Structure 1
């Protein structure tokens, strides 16, 4: 291996820059960290000399050691990293959180709780994250990454789930109440045979019709609450909630909604309405209906949840919530905590009746 004949250039240090300028080290540091302490002329002279001498600026690692601040927020996601840039609601949430971080001059470090890692691996990933606090975005209560985040004892804000985390603030919505309004709308149209398509209820892969015992002990609170909202509306209308067909999908994709719709209708061909816990699943259900020659809403009514852009564009009956506002509020609660301790913010939702629901067929 050949070596260069030219000596490697050494970068200037804060001390050598101070000596060159004949000022104190504090003056040089203030030019970068506290510019209001210097006159504009002196700061300009410091920065110009630093550029000429090749001084790269204060070492962020050393600075974090001195201040014990990393200058970044950690975001714990329940999915693999690519999910965050594919799922419409997650994208909106990220945009809102990033806006709060920008306003506060903080960075954002994403910590995806991807599948296939054990407790030790999860703890190592979380321990290496150089952050001052965490936002937890819709993570299962038994997730090893969540336990590792909790054990770091840093400020934390939870979005959606898990519930009742000691010392943590939470931002969410009334999932059960919002879904009950959807089901009441569907039942009010005369539908008596209803299916529910939901995202996964646990960390282990499970695709298919959900058994009653799985509904009673889910680790994903949001999904269980939305299903419970449908059961509440059925019971109030004199219908038997145990007759509800619930189909679960591990992957949250449009294709997952299509296959789940096909399975639900195969299990109970009498179904005239599919209530979906997300817009993504509902869009898939509509695609299946189209391919199977089932008129929506003449033969099959379909509803979603979230109010993502594509769903609104295609006229899906859905619940609109602001995932972007969730992100902004989660960031604000973490970066500007109040003096009264942890708080819970429940944001508003809105039922939007679109073109995908209609009267039950005779």
Structure 2
């Protein structure tokens, strides 16, 4: 009977040092502080490690010694796939990843559902700090982040959190500029499609109390900007239909547009609080054979690449730069004593989907 095959035990830092006749510190420096070794000596250590099967220092043991995880956590209160299919989230993630890459840090995505209060993923995340991507004011996962003794940077919302850095854009002013553009074109009968206003699923008309009670400041500010611009033109906001969608997708924008226009055929302009919703509204208009902008003006907010392709009038925000700045703020937090607020500029981009309001006498023929 033959015995079990001999299996060579994996090399360790100590055995590799003994093999080379150098100190364990020298082997460790070859991986962690290469500037402390000459290039030939470091290559000698790494070549021997490859030959002997030494995998390098244990990152878990190293993190226990240094009390550093070497990674930034991104709190995302959406499904993980959202970060890769939503164009604004994707642009933000690209910028954040660039900042981490430049600093030699990893990036850990911490996706959680806004409808569930389980905060275990936040407590268990092995990170040195958190970037919080646009969550509601009462989000339990954000409260769990604040309980961790690590620096935190908020992107967009919530606002006014003591001791926390934040990077954002002036959503209200951006939307105010868009509203003024529409009133200059003669629009007085508008409808609004907005993203979710609360953490629980709701799809339908959002009355003024629901708008004002929203736990998402970005949506409050974007609606407020339109409201400001139309108040300047003498439009009573209580006459403006606002339809909300919980999901952020073109499909949600299409169904919201269909619902609003069926109930309010007098509307001459649809103001959408995101490009994604606006792209869905354009799809509905095309399917319903509603001429844009001849019969209906449609606008968005964000400036995503698809908006340029379809000629959407929108408010452009620098989403990639926002992510990069958020990462830089977090990684440089130890060098500052006070929290920082950075507000990046927006730009009104007028394209093909906005035009003069239809004369009122043409409304009687319906769609």
TM-score (norm 2): 0.95
Aligned mate of 2:336, from 336, 339, 355? 339
Deviation track 1:135-157 (CA, whole Å, cap 9, x = no partner) reads: 00101111111111111131011
Cα distance, 1:81 vs structure 2: 0.6
Aligned mate of 1:292, from 264, 270, 288? 288
Aligned mate of 1:351, from 343, 348, 351? 348
Give the 5 Å matches for 1:170-249. Answer: 170-249=166-245
- Deviation larger for 215-224 or 335-344: 335-344
Instruction: Give the distance between the partners of 2:321 and 2:328, measured in 1 at CA.
Output: 10
Tell me the equivalent position of 1:66: 65
Instruction: Give the distance between the partners of 1:115 and 1:163, measured in 2 at CA.
Output: 18
- Deviation larger for 229-238 or 199-208: 229-238
Instruction: Give the distance between the partners of 1:264 and 1:281, measured in 2 at CA.
Output: 13
Tell me the equivalent position of 1:258: 254
Tell me the equivalent position of 2:362: none
The answer on whether the counterparts of 2:176 and 2:225 sit within 8 Å (CA) in structure 1 is yes
The answer on whether the counterparts of 1:78 and 1:140 sit within 8 Å (CA) in structure 2 is no
Deviation track 1:238-271 (CA, whole Å, cap 9, x = no partner) reads: 1111111100001111111111111111222111
The answer on whether the counterparts of 1:80 and 1:115 sit within 8 Å (CA) in structure 2 is no
Instruction: Give the distance between the partners of 1:41 and 1:352, measured in 2 at CA.
Output: 56
Instruction: Give the distance between the partners of 2:6 and 2:123, measured in 1 at CA.
Output: 39
Tell me the equivalent position of 1:323: 319
Instruction: Give the distance between the partners of 1:39 and 1:361, measured in 2 at CA.
Output: 75
Cα distance, 1:116 vs structure 2: 4.4
Cα distance, 1:17 vs structure 2: 1.3
Instruction: Give the distance between the partners of 1:31 and 1:261, measured in 2 at CA.
Output: 61
Aligned mate of 1:128, from 124, 128, 137? 124
Q: Which runs of 5+ in 2 are unaligned?
A: 360-367
Partner of 2:81: helix, strand, or coil?
helix
Q: Which runs of 5+ in 1 are unaligned?
A: none
Tell me the equivalent position of 2:8: 9
Partner of 2:348: helix, strand, or coil?
strand
Cα distance, 1:348 vs structure 2: 0.7
Tell me the equivalent position of 2:265: 269
Instruction: Give the distance between the partners of 2:315 and 2:149, measured in 1 at CA.
Output: 35
Partner of 1:171: helix, strand, or coil?
strand
Partner of 1:316: helix, strand, or coil?
coil
The answer on whether the counterparts of 1:194 and 1:271 sit within 8 Å (CA) in structure 2 is yes
Instruction: Give the distance between the partners of 1:42 and 1:14, measured in 2 at CA.
Output: 16
TM-score (norm 1): 0.96
Cα distance, 1:41 vs structure 2: 2.1
Instruction: Give the distance between the partners of 2:276 and 2:40, measured in 1 at CA.
Output: 57
Cα distance, 1:115 vs structure 2: 4.4
Instruction: Establish whether residue 93 from structure 1 lines up as the match of residue 92 from structure 2.
Output: yes
- Deviation larger for 27-36 or 38-47: 38-47
The answer on whether the counterparts of 2:114 and 2:139 sit within 8 Å (CA) in structure 1 is no
Deviation track 1:169-203 (CA, whole Å, cap 9, x = no partner) reads: 11100001100111111111111111110010011
